[in-house]
Structure 1
Amino acid sequence: MTNRIVINFCIGTEQDRRTLSFIGKATIKEKFNGRVSEPAITAYIEHHYSDHTLRGELNNISNQVLVAFVDGEVAGYARITTKGERPEILQGKSVARIADFSVLERFHETAVRKLLFEKCLCICKTRQTVWISEHEGAADLTLFTDYGFIKNTTISGVNELGIPLVYLIKE
């Protein structure tokens, strides 16, 4: 049976914020459960997925947020941005960052990850360089490298939860 996959832009409506809050919270819990403490995950979610934070993110012209639906059910999301800090080696370049890319585990075997990522790349095509930072062992690292992203071992860092990051770059 073929799943119907739809990728929509979030434009900041109340419904979009609710949808983004739901999928963000659900994917963060899946991604970090067992890797960091429950209170740390809760604090992260409260900071990054509050209505106030989401309103600001969605109203920032430097951000574009996509939400993926499978058969009408929210399945994942991505956020592309041109703002924020970037690794030193990217200074002076026209850069976009795929800052968030998450799909619920139960949809990993569907085409949703591929379609959502291809939409991200389409949005980024006017930029010289696209970069992603993701934790080591993340399910999507292979997807990113399959699309030509290369791990950069000269860049290192940790996310807000203290988990070491892998940096991937596509020029």
Structure 2
Amino acid sequence: MENLKIDHVKLDDVVQLQNIGRQTFTETFSAVNTEENMAKYIEVSFSLGTLAAELSNKLSQFYFAVLDGEVIGYLKLNFGQAQTEIKDNNALEIERIYVSKEFQGKKVGQLLYNKAIQIAQQVGVNHVWLGVWEKNHKAISFYKKNGFMEFDRHIFKLGTDDQIDIMMKNVLKNE
């Protein structure tokens, strides 16, 4: 993966973001959710309008993992009031880390995660937090390996299905 680059996503990249977002979300969750719930979620969350608004929010940042010119994954970070749950100026939310199935297990997710931690340290937040579906054992294991601990739970709505997300955080410096 020495040719892998982490690039900041700009508004002009919205179609590429939509493509990788839809692809990776479908690869990750379609086998364990109904087609209707997947379609409903993807239609809203990965519409060009929704993604353009997220890209335009100065308190959110997106990064692509690019290998030989191909986008193979992405990262979304939220600061301050852009955070989905905890609106803490001393925290950073990792809202999304997704890697295309073909490149999972090749350290791409780790590189995206490392980028998130680098940014968190640059801006001086106390902790990084995220929500991860309770049935996504692979992701939970990844975050635990990287120092995250469970601190709460919340509901994530996928179409009409209320799912439980485990909220996890990694304390970077004492609060």
Identity between Structure 1 and Structure 2 (%): 25
Instruction: Report the CA distance shift for 1:92/1:29 in structure 2 as closer, same or farther (over 3 A).
Output: closer
The structure 2 residue matched to 1:39, chosen from 30, 36, 41, is 36
- In structure 2, distance between residues paired with 1:12 and 1:170: 30
1:118-154, Cα deviation, whole Å (9 max, x unpaired): 00111112211110101124222222122211122xx
Give me the whole-angstrom Cα distance separating, in 2, the residues matched to 1:40 and 1:168. 25
Do the aligned partners of residues 85 and 19 (structure 1) sit closer, same or farther apart at CA in structure 2, a change above 3 Å counting? closer
- Runs ≥4 residues deviating over 6 A: none
Task: Name the residue aligned to 2:108.
Answer: 112
Letter in 2 for 1:149: F
TM-score between the two structures when normalised by the length of structure 2: 0.86
Match of 2:25 in 1: 28
List runs of 5+ in structure 2 lacking aligned partners. Answer: none
Question: As a proportion of its length, which structure holds more helix?
Answer: 2
* Superposed displacement of residue 96, structure 1: 0.9
- Residues in 1 aligned to 2:156 and 2:88: alpha-carbon distance in whole angstroms: 24
For residues 58 and 68 of structure 1, the distance between their equivalents in structure 2, rounded to whole angstroms, comes to 16
Indicate how the Cα distance of structure 1 residues 164 and 107 shifts in structure 2: closer, same or farther if over 3 A, else same. same
Aligned residue number for residue 134 of structure 2: 136
138-147 or 98-107, which deviates more: 138-147
CA-atom RMSD, angstroms?
A: 1.7
Answer whether contact 1:132 1:168 (CA < 8 A) is retained.
yes
Aligned counterpart, 1:61: 58
Structure 1 residues 163 and 80 mapped into 2: Cα distance closer, same or farther (>3 Å)?
same
TM-score calculated relative to the size of structure 1: 0.87
Matched residue of 1:21: which SS?
A: helix
When structure 1 is superposed on structure 2, of 58-67 and 139-148 the one drifting more is: 139-148
Q: Secondary structure at the match of 2:156?
A: coil
Number of aligned positions between the proteins: 163
Match in the other structure for 1:159: 156
Q: In the alignment, what sits opposite 2:5?
A: 6
- 2:8/2:62 contact within 8 Å kept: yes
Q: Which residue of 1 aligns with 2:96?
A: 100
Pairwise CA distance, 1:70: 2.2
